[in-house]
Structure 1
Amino acid sequence: MKTLISAIITASIIFLGCSSTDSPQTNLDLETIQDSTQIAYTITGLDGPEAVRYDAEQDVYFISNFTGGGNDQDSTGFITKADSEGNILELRFMKGTEENPLHAPRGMFIVNETLWAADVLGVHGFNKNTGEQTDFVDFTEFEIGFLNDVSADDDGVLYVTDTGVPRVYKVEEGSATVFLDSLEYAPNGITLNPENSDFILAPWGGAQTFHAFNADGEINEFATLEGGYFDGIEFIDSNLFSASQQDSSIRIFNEDTEKILIKTTGRPADIGINTKLNHIAVPYIALDRVDIWKLSE
């Protein structure tokens, strides 16, 4: 009976999190540019936090620590586990293995019980409950530029951006292949559009046009946003939130508006969404801190 109830609750969360509507959720405050009074919690004591991923099942945040950053193979990277109120539960919850250590982990995505994290040489898989490394997909057969962010489709197939080459890789059944190559822009953040199952790519550098691609590799322009040097992107319903490092802001885009929603206290990296409370977790690499902002009234 307990297993059945748990399955029903999990299914409800997935359904709510993936639903799409023509208008924003009624409890989202999208009308005003928010300031620091809207910060619900702050997580400190980190080491170059690059990305945040929320796990609704455990009600926790996972935070990838960039440490020295770059592509140095220094084995110093780790992933922190924190609760939804910003308390660190375990600073070095995920560390990799001696054979495949974490160097400078970046974007993350959860598929079932596995948290996948992009790193210098490939993509690590961790048991999200125990922190144990269970998988490693080696990318060294490719001319790696800068592996950056990870997302997945409904079947658990991973897509990984390479901002340095620039290209997008596909990871299926533990093997990586080049999916999109020689792009005209450097892809940074990647996320799944809940309305049509296309993936959206955020451009790094001076580019401002976001592109979408489908499972067949067809690419189209999605939207052009103000700002620049875009990092993490996430949806809540039909609202796309993007981290713009050019003007230190979180921008919102939907069919009715495109504007700054939050003026952040530093250069925002790969954001995460608390899907239960509509909180947005914003990591700042240079500040060793994550701010969790309220999007709901």
Structure 2
Amino acid sequence: MKYLCLIALLSLSVSSVWAQKKLVQLWETKDLPVPESVLFSPKTNLLYVSLIDGGGSDKDGKGGVALLNLDGSVKDKNWITGMDAPKGLAIYKDVLYVADITAVSVIDIISGNEIDCVEVPGAVFLNDVTIDDNGVVYVSDTRTNKIHVLRDNQPSVFMENVTNVNGLKFIGDYLYALAGPELWKIDRAKKVTVLAKGFELGGDGLEPVGKGDFLVTCWGGLIYYVHANGTFDLLLDVRGKMNTADLGFHPSTNTVYIPTFNNNSVIAYRLE
């Protein structure tokens, strides 16, 4: 009897470890013109949302960045205006970096003023941004399959032939990148380890959720939970209903923020 109880407890323990994660919707903020990326800032306790408000490649001056409170209420819909088609966002100290087609906009988050705009030579479709612990900025160009780097706001090419590269995240000494339907881990010597592959669509947003696990979005309407061992579970499939672009994540509350792009909203979910 004791052995049967022990087996039952072990079985329950294993099943709880591998239990399917799920997303529970918390709120939705509408009337945001083509939101592409959401970034949670623990310093300001705000959500920064890039708004394309037009075509993804159009240099039309209609884009910008909005500020949302953590309950989804709008703090400032027009915090930054006059951009073109802003996408990925990253913060280092008090500076926000925004990918905007062929340039990276550098914004003082205290004043809300643009302090620099770095044109990236040869860029066509700059997409996501991440920053290492030393303030070195990495930005993906999905159309040219390149990852660029900005050191002291001076651009150069970090890596080429990264097919359809989009989502980026620097953690410790490694750059994690979504290369089409694969998740790569890249060291400083540019050695690549493929951590996961086989997503149904090309990856878009990438966020770590602890213990080597990640959330991955695909713009066409898929959200995956990627385990540290490379296996992954499909959390959400809303293809044909809405887009799931470059997500944000609040680690202490397990809240996931999804910009729906053409559905013009941001939806918050709790990861359970």
> For residue 243 of structure 1, what is the aligned residue in structure 2?
217
Match status 1:137 vs 2:123: no
Query: Which of the residues 19, 27, 48 maps onto 1:31?
Result: 19
Match status 1:53 vs 2:39: yes
Question: TM-score of the superposition, structure 1-length normalised?
Answer: 0.80
> For residue 291 of structure 1, what is the aligned residue in structure 2?
267
Match status 1:78 vs 2:64: yes
> For residue 179 of structure 2, what is the aligned residue in structure 1?
203
Could you list the runs of 5+ residues in structure 2 that have no partner in the other structure? Answer: 1-15
Could you list the runs of 5+ residues in structure 1 that have no partner in the other structure? Answer: 1-27, 96-100
> For residue 12 of structure 2, what is the aligned residue in structure 1?
none
Contact 2:162 2:179 in 1 (8 A): no
Contact 2:21 2:225 in 1 (8 A): no
Query: Which of the residues 188, 198, 206 maps onto 2:166?
Result: 188
**1:91-170 equivalent positions in 2, closer than 5 A:** 91-95=77-81, 101-139=82-120, 142-170=121-149
Q: Identical aligned pairs, as a percentage?
A: 21
SS at match of 1:72: coil
Cα displacement (A) at 1:211: 1.8
Cα displacement (A) at 1:117: 0.4
SS at match of 1:286: helix
Match status 1:232 vs 2:205: yes
Whichever residue aligns with residue 192 of structure 1, its letter is: F
Match status 1:272 vs 2:248: yes
Aligned alpha-carbon RMSD (Å)? 2.0
Whichever residue aligns with residue 48 of structure 2, its letter is: F
1-structure distance, mates of 2:90, 2:250 = 14
- Residues 42 and 157 (structure 1), Cα distance of their counterparts in 2 relative to 1, 3 Å cut: same
Cα displacement (A) at 1:214: 1.9
Query: Which of the residues 216, 221, 227 maps onto 2:189?
Result: 216
Cα displacement (A) at 1:159: 0.4
Question: TM-score of the superposition, structure 2-length normalised?
Answer: 0.87
Cα displacement (A) at 1:74: 0.7
Aligned residues: 253
2-structure distance, mates of 1:184, 1:114 = 27
When structure 1 is superposed on structure 2, of 149-158 and 124-133 the one drifting more is 124-133
